[in-house]
Amino acid sequence: MDLRVLSDVLVGGLAAGAVYALMALGLVLIYKTTDVVNFGHGDIATVSTFVAYALAVQAGWPVLAAAVAALGFAALLGAVVELGLLQPARFRQASVLGLVVVTLGVGLTLNGLAGIVWGHDVKSFPFLLTGPPLRAGELTIPVDQILNLAAGVAIAAVLYAFFRFSDLGVAMRAVLSNRTAAELVGIPVRRVFALSWALGSVLGAVAGILAAPILYLEPNRMVDLLLRGFAAAVLGGMDSLPGAVAGGALLGVLENLAGTYGSIDLKASLAFVVIVLVLVVRPHGLLGAGRVRRA
Amino acid sequence: MPLLEISGVSVAFGGVRALDEVTLSVEEGQVLGLIGPNGAGKTTLLNVASRFVSPQRGDLRLGNRSLLRYRPDQLVGLGVARSFQIPQLFSGLSVLDHLRLAAERSTRQRDSAERVAREVLEELELGEVAASFPHLLPSAVQKRVDLARAVAARPRLLLLDEPAAGLGAEERVSFARWLREFRRRQGCAVILVEHDVELVAGCSDRVVVLDFGRIIASGSPEAVRRDPAVLQAYLGVANGAGA
């Protein structure tokens, strides 16, 4: 086995895994806070990435500024979905399944709108950073992979600090842990739900913007990324934020190993294999706490 | 004017009437004991008062405000706090964090919240477990954490749902002593839901008895214990000694 190839595969896998992890973090954050699996997550990421495309490519903004503006759009869109659709549905006693169907409807609507506004021809999306690859001994790391890794590590660290040390983060952890008790101590749970949707949507949009230069941009292109985000979330545990990070990294590495030493078909289907195997063998994932149900 | 006034409140879950035209009031600084058999509607009444359940009919007023206009998370700001029969705690937060969160919403200042949280920790003898996660503590201590969090909110009205359930005899005595002292010191009104009639009688100024969602007796602890309807419905006619 060529160690140089192996190290390239591992680093490349971790870089892809960082993007999966960001996608998974958004899904887990929303699910853990509100009990809703967001099937519109990929489409919110897609539309936000299209907004970045429109600003950077069509309006000529610097790509970083366009990306930041698109993240603001994603936050707003997430909050609007929660405040404008899910909260009224909850108020009318909609079931969790009903809320999940609302997210599916939101996703399909956004997908259709993206097709109407930007069309279905594949568009190239600019890299956020360009430059020569980093060379360390035998190892060569392209700059986009460095950006993915840096973004993944930095965002995970910021999220950790936010939840650990800030008043708002502690309040969000309280809602994640026990909604009734959180209301009891005066935490505005509905606002925390909206914040979770905003933050979760931003995380999905970051993943979309990082992946778009490689995947290219088209309304259905993020489906694969959403499925990998789901696989990472299920692998790590749907209720575990550290699990989402670990699941993303592991899935990225496994995919690259499978593609390099197995077949490209195996790489393409690995996410589905992971979802099925984890749900059968360890339904609460690597780091998830699981939910105890009375028999 | 009473601190809390509950007027004609009715709640039904499907076809089951949990509360039926319940009317009662609590004065400032008063301890109101609320007793009744299982399923009488005691916890439902606390859930209505803390806005987790909306009544189909009736009103509840805190001072001159109708509480029906408020959400549960807004009640701390109005001076209402509660504990639960089964402690509702945050698995990922320390005992100190529980109290600090509650105190922050009432004091609105971080330093004051820290001070209040530590005072309540000492008051309820929880200092040694301040850094512990509550789900790892014995159930009696978890109940005390649940109570301490409500106290840390510095309420004007404290709603206690079976705070002594599951406690040993010594812990019950200790709780009763604490409640009398707390009420004397803070002047806080309390609605105490409890099955232990001796404990309720020893701590309450007034007792209300619920049965099948209706008030069947109300008055001083002594008068209520002699009331024939109470003996019939709750204590058992044959032995009026207590339940």
Q: Which chain B residues touch A240 with a CB distance below 8 Å?
A: none
Contact between A181 and B71 using a beta-carbon 8 Å cutoff: no
Q: What percent of chain B has pLDDT over 70?
A: 95
Q: Give the ranges where chain A is alpha helix by DSSP (H).
A: 3-34, 41-53, 63-80, 87-91, 96-118, 143-165, 167-177, 179-184, 189-215, 222-236, 241-261, 264-281
Q: Are residues B134 and B167 in the same domain?
A: no
Gap between the Cα atoms of B163 and B131, Å rounded:
23
Instruction: Convert the pLDDT of each residue in A157-210 to its tens digit.
Output: 999 999 888 888 988 889 988 988 999 899 999 999 999 999 999 999 999 999
Contacting residues of B for A182, CB less than 8 Å apart: 73, 90
ipTM (interface predicted TM): 0.81
Residues B161 and B231 in one domain: yes
Contact B90 A184 (CB under 8 A): no
Q: Which pLDDT does position A267 carry in this prediction?
A: 84
Q: pLDDT for A133-163, tens place per residue?
A: 998 888 889 999 999 999 999 999 999 999 8
Q: What's the CA gap between B52 and A259, in Å, rounded? A: 53
Q: Token pair of A246, please? A: 């670990």
B81 and A184: CB-CB below 8 Å? Answer: yes
**C-alpha pair distances (Å), B172 with each of B13, B165, B168:** 33, 9, 6
Sign of CA dihedral A64, A66, A72, A77: negative
B111 Cβ under 8 Å from any chain A Cβ = no
Classify residue B118: in a domain, yes or no: yes
pLDDT at position A289 is: 74
B52 contacts on A by Cβ (under 8 Å) = 180, 183
Task: Provide the number of structural domains found in chain B.
Answer: 2
Residues of chain A in Cβ contact (below 8 Å) with chain B = 167, 170-171, 173-174, 176-178, 180-190
Report pLDDT digits (tens) over B153-185.
999 999 999 999 888 899 899 999 999 999 989
On whether residue B98 sits in a domain, the answer given is: yes
- pLDDT beyond 70 at B243: no
**Which of B140, B135, B151, B54 lies closest to B102, judged by CA?**
B151
Strand partners, A123: A217
pLDDT in tens, B4-28: 999 999 999 988 999 999 999 999 9
Residue of A nearest to B102 (CA): A185
Burial A236-245 (b: 16+ CB within 10 A, else e): bbbbbbbbbb
What pLDDT band is residue B107 in, cutting at 50, 70 and 90? confident
- Answer yes or no: do B65 and B10 share one domain: yes
Domains of chain A: 3-281 (1.10.3470)
Alpha-carbon distance B45 to B42, whole Å? 5
Q: What is the pLDDT of residue B215?
A: 95
Give the residue-averaged pLDDT of A8-29.
95
Residues B27 and B43 placed together within one structural domain of the fold: yes
Q: Is the pTM of this model over 0.80?
A: yes
Among residues B196, B198, B165, B158, which one has the least CA distance to residue B179? B158
Q: Do A187 and B110 touch (CB under 8 A)?
A: no
| Same domain? B23 vs B137 | no
Which tokens in the block code for residue B107?
A: 């004091």
* Average pLDDT in chain A: 92
CATH number at residue B195: 3.40.50.300
B33-66, pLDDT tens digit by residue? 999 988 899 999 999 999 999 999 999 999 999 9
What is the layout of strands, in order, in the sheet containing B65-66?
B16-26, B4-13, B57-62, B65-66
B81 vs A contacts (CB less than 8 Å): 184
The residue written with tokens 């149900």 in the block is A293
pLDDT at site B136: 92
Residue A178 to residue B73, Cβ atoms within 8 A: no
List of long-range contacts for A169-175, beta carbons under 8 Å, 24+ apart:
A170/B93, A170/B97, A170/B101, A171/B101, A172/A33, A172/A196, A173/B90, A173/B92, A173/B93, A174/B90, A174/B93, A174/B101, A175/A33
Q: Is residue B201 in some structural domain? A: yes
Question: Which of B148, B172, B188 is the last residue in one of the domains?
Answer: B148
For residue B198, give its domain range: 4-79+155-235
Distance of CA A161 to the CA centre of its chain: 19
Verify whether the Cβ–Cβ distance A186 to B77 is below 8 Å: yes
Instruction: Choose among B91, B37, B28: nearest CA to B229.
Output: B37
Average pLDDT value for residue range A83-96: 93
**Shortest Cα distance from A250 to chain B (angstroms)?**
25
Q: For chains A and B, what is the number of CB pairs under 8 angstroms?
A: 66
For the segment A211-226, the average pLDDT, to the nearest whole number, is: 91
∠B50-B54-B56 over CA atoms, to 5°?
Answer: 145
> Which residue in the block uniquely carries the two structure tokens 């993944």?
A152
Q: What is the pLDDT of residue A291?
A: 54
User: Whole-angstrom Cα distance, residue A87 to residue A99?
Assistant: 9
Same domain assignment for residues B211 and B107: no
Question: How high is the pLDDT of residue B233?
Answer: 75
Contact A188 B97 (CB under 8 A): no
Classify residue B24: in a domain, yes or no.
yes
B143 to chain A, any CB pair closer than 8 A? The answer is no
Residue A137: is it exposed, middle or buried by C-beta count within 10 angstroms (0-12/13-18/19+)? exposed
Which B residues in the span 61-100 are in contact with A, Cβ-Cβ below 8 Å? 71-77, 81-82, 84, 88-93, 97-98
Cβ contacts of A170 within 8 Å, gap of 6 or more: A163, B93, B97, B101
The token pair at A198 is 């905003």
Residues B66, B169 share a domain: yes
Q: Which pLDDT tens digit goes with each residue over A25-82?
A: 999 999 988 989 999 999 999 999 999 999 999 999 999 999 999 999 999 999 999 9
Do B163 and B66 fall into the same domain? yes
pLDDT at A290: 62
CA B136 to chain A, closest CA, distance in angstroms equals 15
Specify whether B207 is located in the same domain as B95: no
Q: Which of B133, B148, B163 is the last residue of a domain?
A: B148
Instruction: Taking residues A14-35, report their average pLDDT.
Output: 94
Contacts of A189 in chain B (CB under 8 A): 73
What is the pLDDT at residue A137?
82
Q: Does some domain include residue B84?
A: no
Specify if B230 maps to a domain: yes
All residues of chain A having their beta carbon less than 8 Å from the beta carbon of residue B90 are 173-174, 177-178, 181-182
Same domain, B162 and B217: yes
Domain assignment of residue B240, yes or no: no
Residues of B in contact with A177 (CB under 8 A): 89-93
φ and ψ at B164, to 5 degrees?
A: -100, 0
Pair B136, B225 in one domain: no
For a pLDDT cut of 70, what percent of chain A falls above it?
Answer: 98
The reply to whether B34 and B119 lie within a common domain is no
DSSP A138-188: TEEE-HHHHHHHHHHHHHHHHHHHHHHHSHHHHHHHHHHH-HHHHHHTT--
Sort A119 into a burial class: Cβ within 10 Å, 0-12 / 13-18 / 19+.
exposed
Taking alpha carbons only, the member of A253, A204, A254 closest to residue A230 is A204
Q: Domain ends where: B105, B133, B148?
A: B148
